[in-house]
Structure 1
Amino acid sequence: MTSQPSDRFLRLNDVLDRTGLSRATLYRKIQAGTFPPQYKLAVRCCGWRESHLNIWLRNPMSFTLDDLPRNEN
């Protein structure tokens, strides 16, 4: 039996710290499809999957949404 590490959600400040992007640039990249989208976690709370952010960090210059895994909710 193999266990996969849990995929946690990162909040906006954590994402900004890890990427070095400004808030405006982050949302501009999401709109353009060159950054992973956020997930709605609650009424006033959203987050990004850590695994998706790691995929983006491996190659931020040529990332597209097609680079993300398809089988996730």
Structure 2
Amino acid sequence: MRGLRRVPALSVEQNARRLQGVFQGRAEDGLERRTAAVVAHASGVGNRVDNLIEQTSTTGQLLDVITHLLDQ
């Protein structure tokens, strides 16, 4: 058979290490995506809190708004 070459078989340990690397890479990618989503959500929450602070002229009003949000 022309053009075919024999590829040495990997040992069980080599296959296990290779697969572990693949799955670890996928897990790390998933963790990075989840971390980015959490950071984006926290940033949005922070922006909303900043907006609430700007909209309330007194500490009493701000506490009323926070209490209202916590009661929901």
TM band (smaller chain): under 0.3
Tell me: higher relative CO, structure 1 or 2? Use CA pairs within 8 A at least 6 residues apart: 1
Q: Structure 1 or 2: larger strand share?
A: 1
Q: Structure 1 or 2: larger helix share?
A: 2
Q: Which of structures 1 and 2 has the bigger CA Rg?
A: 2
Normalising by structure 2, what TM-score?
0.27
Normalising by structure 1, what TM-score?
0.26
